[in-house]
Amino acid sequence: MIAYDLQCANGHAFEGWFEDRKAYLGQQKNGLIACPICNDTTVDIIPSTFGIKSSPSTAPQQPSPEEVALQQFSKQAIDFVEKNFDDVGCEFAKEALKMHYGATEPRNIRGVSTKEEEKTLKEEGIQFFKIPMPAPPDTDT
Ligand SMILES: [Zn+2]
């Protein structure tokens, strides 16, 4: 069985079920399909409504101005941090805690921390910023 969305000459839309396309064509030709609303036998299949998308442009997509600004900002932020902050790597949370408790002199540090460590830092009331850095090699696995 096959379902067609049909429309009569008066613009009524309805659905018709047929054995196959040939059966539909035969019935349509012989005026056997009648509109359930006005009984008109001049019916046609409503052109299917699937969307047509223009072929994608081959040119690489340009980033939006916002994306460009964000990228530039991130780069500046990263440059600044790299120049002015000690890289403590995975020791970030440890170092931050040491400073927090006066075990070491306060200084600017940067590094990576796990979600657990971030939670600890937050619980200790230690403020830190997260900025998107080029992803370090994943050592979790
Ligand atoms: Zn009709």
Please work out, in degrees rounded to the nearest 5, the angle formed at the alpha carbon of residue 31 by the alpha carbons of 27 and 33. Answer: 60
DSSP secondary structure code for residue 94 in this structure: H
pLDDT at 138 over 80: no
Cα(30) to centroid(ligand 1), Å: 17
Q: Which residues contact 94 (CB under 8 A, 6 or more apart)?
A: 88
CA of 32 to the centre of ligand 1 (A): 14
CA–centroid distance, 13 to ligand 1, in Å, is 7
How many whole angstroms from 10 Cα to the centroid of ligand 1?
A: 5
Cα 28 to middle of ligand 1, angstroms: 14
pLDDT of residue 42: 95
Distance 38 CA to ligand 1 centre (A): 4
| Entry field: residues in the chain | 141
Cα 19 to averaged position of ligand 1 atoms, centre (Å)? 22
Please write the tens of the pLDDT for every residue from 5-62.
999 999 999 999 999 999 999 999 999 999 999 999 999 998 765 555 555 556 566 7
- pLDDT of 6 reads 94
Token representation of residue 105: 């002199």
pLDDT, one tens digit per residue, over 55-95 is 555 656 677 888 888 788 778 877 888 888 888 888 888 98
Say if residues 110 and 83 touch (Cβ distance below 8 Å): no
In tens, the pLDDT along 89-133 reads 888 889 889 988 898 888 888 888 888 999 998 998 888 877 766
Identify the helix (H) or strand (E) that includes residue 15.
strand 13-18
Between the CA of 33 and the centroid of ligand 1 the distance, in Å, is 11
- Overall pTM > 0.75: no
Helix axes 92-100, 115-123, angle to 10 degrees: 10
